[in-house]
Structures are given as structure tokens and as C-alpha cells.
Structure 1
């Protein structure tokens, strides 16, 4: 396997992990909001945020390793910031209630 093939394979893995983490965060947030899982308030607030931020980091890595690397810093920062918005919304609604 060439280096380029390995990079493309790693990119696909980061992309998939990002979607899995975001889906898990959404499922947990819905279950916590409904009251179906009885965990501590701190765990209920922080677990979706951690999963969403992990997804943001994975998508940032996916974006940063694009084969055409012009302006990768700005593109990566935009990706991470946009992917972090759901965690900010969850934190606002969960911790201000």
C-alpha cells in the first residue's frame, strides 16, 4: 500500500468515526432529554458534548488531510467550528435548565 493510499484510507476512517460519534451523541442527547437514562446530571450534560467534540476533531483531521492542501488551516478551522455548534447548543440548553 502506497503512502497516498494509506492517507486516503485514514481519511475514510476519520470521516466514518466522526459520523458515528455524532450519531451516538444525538441518540444519547435524545435519551437524556426524554429521561430514559438515569445517569448523573454532569454525565448527561458532558457525554454528548464530548462525543460531538470528538466528531469535530475527526472531521477536522479529515479536512486537514485533503490531497489538495491549499488553505488547509482555514478549511480545518471552519470544519471544527461548524461541527462544534451542536455541542454549544446542547450545553446551553442542558446546563441552563
Structure 2
């Protein structure tokens, strides 16, 4: 009987610690996904890339815009999957960048 009480207490402590560390780990992964999302968003079709894209041929421009769209869509999908509920700032920034890229793609 004494051994079972010690065993149950040890299991309770283990379960509590596992839950705390799991929540901390989830938070860190979500934070990393947010950082990755913002980095991808800011690096995609920024001012320096706009200057480079202007010099490309139309077919290369189309490939660039399709790739850039896929990159931000993947990054946002990862953010949604990990964090479950992206903030309105993240969602509006994503939609704004997506619209900008789609307009540029359709202008070709």
C-alpha cells in the first residue's frame, strides 16, 4: 500500500510537469512560427525586390509572383496550424501582401 501511494504521487508530479513543459513548448513553437511569418512577409516583394523584378522578363516575373504567393501562403498556413488563431494584425498583413502580389501577377 505504501509503495502504491509513492508511485501515485510520482505519477501526479510527472503529469503536472509534463503539462507545464508541453504548454511552454507549444508557446515557443507558436512564437517561432509568428517570427517566421513576419520575416517571410517583410522579405517578400519588398522595395529591393521590386527593383529587381522590374528588370525581369514577363515569364520570370510570373514565376517570381507565383513563388512569392506560395511562400506567404505556406507561412500563413503554418502559423494557423501552430497557433490556431492568428491575430487580426497578422491576418490583415497577410491579406494585404497577398492582394498586392495578386494584382502584380494579374497586371502581367
TM-score range, shorter chain: 0.5 to 0.7
Please identify the structure whose Cα radius of gyration is greater: 2
Structure 1 partner of 2:66: 46
Structure 1 residue 34: Cα displacement: 3.2
Q: More helix per residue: 1 or 2?
A: 2
Structure 1 partner of 2:36: 17
Question: 69, 80, 83: which one pairs with 1:60?
Answer: 80
Distance 1:59 1:31, change over 3 A: farther
Structure 1: gaps (5+ residues): 65-71
- Residue 45 of structure 2: SS of its match in structure 1? helix
Structure 1 residue 49: Cα displacement: 1.1
RMSD over aligned CA atoms reads: 3.1
**Is contact 1:21–1:54 with CA below 8 Å preserved after alignment?**
no
**Is contact 1:21–1:52 with CA below 8 Å preserved after alignment?**
yes
Structure 1 residue 55: Cα displacement: 3.1
Find runs of 4+ consecutive structure 1 residues off by over 4 angstroms: 76-81
| Count of aligned residue pairs for this structure pair | 86
